[in-house]
Structure 1
Amino acid sequence: MTPLEYALRMQERGYHVFPTTRMKLPALRSPHRNDPPGAPRCRGECGRFGHGVHDATNDPDRLADMFAAAPYAAGYGVACGRGDYPLLGVDLDRKNGVDGVAAFIRLAEQYGVTIPDTTTIATASGGQHRWFIGPAGAPVQNSASKLGPGIDVRGYGGYLIGPGSMTTKGAYTVAHAHPVAEFPDALVPLTLTPPPKPRLPMPTMPGPRRGAALLGLVKFVLESGQGELNNRLYWAACRAYETGTDADAISRALVDAAVSLGHPDRAAERTVSSARNAPTRNRP
């Protein structure tokens, strides 16, 4: 199969993809490489090819046009962080004495979670890419070794090299063809960008003031800026559950606040439930 055929197969599964080189880099050069210094940054708004992961598409015609413009492409990238069920990639390296797979297992044991079976890609260098469904709307960013040695995360703005791609070190292949599983809730907070410190009292007040504290936390969620919503929702839920207020009331109030800002219902419920079940020592 050609790289385009592999990419089209992945596109048919709903993923956004784009052509890459044997160096695992975007195959199309930026159309803005000769722009004058200080020119506005374009992430594909101009409609031309050459914006890396921002070119990623699930339109088969546009994808074919991209590969036609890059006949030397040797593979394809799969964009992370797109849609209501965004792809979250966990890149586990095995090199230079570091075993990311073992480190990921230790991390799960530390937080008392079981890593679910999921789509797993064998990388050309002997590591693994594990594909998960990440939290929709959450500020999961790319990180290197943040979760542990040899564990890199690919979130919004990142991409994974797709199976069937050829690189300078060899081919990427499917190691396990399980359905893509949800990323363990207890590990989600570790992948998020910390929110700014809120100027709210710690909600440990006696009975009559608990309602006011919950209202303050709802307001904290409603004031979320771009990219902050899921992280603020999780923090507010953790604080609210520490007050001893009725758990169902907390869930309804915070989920309703997040949904009013466009957060998908299911994703908001997952985030609040994760905060409710998180051990106190693991709460931010």
Structure 2
Amino acid sequence: MNAALLNAALDAAERGWPVIPLRVGGKPPALHGEASCARTGPCVAGHQTWEQQATTDPDRIKVAWAVRPFNVGIATGPAGLLVVDLDTLKPKDEKGTPDGAESFLALCERAGQPVPITRRIRTASGGQHLYFHAPDGVRLGSTAGTLAPKIDTRAWGGQVVAPGSITPAGPYTVLCDPPVAKLPEWLQTDLTAPRKLPTAPFRPAPVRNATRCAAVALEREAAAVAARTAIGSRNRELLDSVIRIGRFVAWRDIDRAEVEAAFQAAGETAGLTAAECRTTITSALNYSLRTARPRETA
């Protein structure tokens, strides 16, 4: 195991990607924190974070992995990478809710772009890591749920587990390994677009083509989305609310366009970007249309 993990670390380093040891069988960095720093070795002039200690030096790597079979972490910021993490559904998630791969596909469709061809890694949980070269002159940070639910990104301040590493959930393996693509401009725009802050109370537009029940439900759910301004919960609120209204679209009680317009306005009022709203709304409505039960059994 040591030899295989050492080779995984050296392979990443040969690609120019600084690596760090991760806990044996785990994902957190195995390096010490500032509170326990003895100010020796690389920290003699001051504590060095794991991101600062990440290295491509094969001699340092061989010394570290001779100690024990550490998993391998790639420090994405120093590596000049942005990795898109497409997560799978968790047991607590509603069955059939779009996962990261489905949400990313919707994101590409909304942008009118094909799914990028780049290095893909299968994670231990069955998700995927998509590797991109970060743009020159732009320092992108890591994000959680900014693009869409179940989609995180790892750049500065983040790391990804390299293929060859093994956790109790399973191994990290290479799905395909073409040259790493540049981060698409449309994806960079979605990540860096300024968040719109609400400037006035949300006023939903009148719903014209809907039953009374559907119109009232849409107004209530859109208002709930607009009021959820806390970062980290806005996208989840939008996803859940659209799914709840989606059944009315499936039953033809309300036009899909009316629902999309109402939730687009509500999501942007809450501070989400236009692209975030479009992606989440599309994924949620597509899910609802696939899974809605007949009216008589609902």
Q: Is 2:54 the partner of 1:56?
A: yes
Cα drift, residue 47 of structure 1:
6.8
What residue number does 1:157 align with? Answer: 157
Higher helix share goes to which structure?
2
Between the aligned partners of 1:193 and 1:141, the Cα distance in structure 2 is 13
Question: Aligned residues, how many?
Answer: 187
Q: Which runs of 5+ in 2 are unaligned?
A: 91-96, 196-273, 276-298
Q: Cα–Cα, structure 1 residues 134 and 5, in superposed 2: closer, same or farther, change >3 Å?
A: same
1:93 aligns with 2:95: no
Cα deviation, residue 19, structure 1:
0.9
Q: What aligned pairs does 1:1-284 form with structure 2 within 5 A after superposition? A: 1-21=3-23, 22-30=25-33, 32-34=34-36, 46=44, 51-68=49-66, 70-73=67-70, 75-82=71-78, 86-96=80-90, 97-192=97-192, 194=194
Aligned mates of 1:170, 1:48 — CA distance in 2: 37
Calculate the TM-score normalised by the size of structure 2.
Answer: 0.57
CA distance in structure 2 between the aligned counterparts of 1:107 and 1:46, rounded to whole angstroms:
46
Q: CA RMSD in A?
A: 2.8
Deviation at 1:137, TM superposition (A): 2.6
1:89/1:53 Cα in 2 relative to 1: closer, same or farther (>3 Å)? same
* 8 A contact 2:51–2:78 mirrored in 1: no
For residue 18 of structure 1, report the CA deviation from its aligned partner.
Answer: 1.1
The CA distance in 1 between the partners of 2:84 and 2:115, in whole Å, is 12
Aligned residue for 1:94, secondary structure, equals coil
AA aligned to 1:82 is: P
Q: Judging changes above 3 Å, is the alpha-carbon distance between structure 1 residues 151 and 29 closer, same or farther for their aligned structure 2 residues?
A: same
1:216-252 per-position Cα deviation (integer Å, ceiling 9, x unaligned): xxxxxxxxxxxxxxxxxxxxxxxxxxxxxxxxxxxxx
Q: Which amino acid aligns with 1:112?
A: G
Cα 1:100–1:47, aligned 2, differ >3 Å: closer, same or farther? farther
Paired residue secondary structure (2:10): helix
Judge conservation of contact 1:139–1:193 (CA < 8 Å) in 2.
no
